[in-house]
Amino acid sequence: MQLGEPSWMNEEHVIVRDSVQKFIAAEIAPHYEAWEEAGIVPRDIWNKLGEQGLLSPDMPEEYGG
């Protein structure tokens, strides 16, 4: 049952939320159990998170955010 978006969410929030959900479904969920068992998340996934702007999102771009 979908209740709709919270009143504080704007279009940008929805876009970010949807892109994060797609990223997790495509890049993380299929590998989660193996990574959990190995006790490590491969460096390339961190690089992909950074490329998507999902690491340090509250930091200004000029400082690496």
Write the pLDDT tens digit of every residue in 8-23.
889 988 898 999 999 9
CB 51 within 8 A of CB 43: no
pLDDT at residue 1 tops 50: no
Residue partners of 48: CB distance under 8 A and separation at least 6: 23, 27
pLDDT band at residue 2 using 50, 70 and 90 as cut-offs: low
What is the model's pLDDT at position 53?
84
Tokens for 39, please give them. Answer: 């006790």
pLDDT at residue 7 tops 60: yes
pTM: 0.74
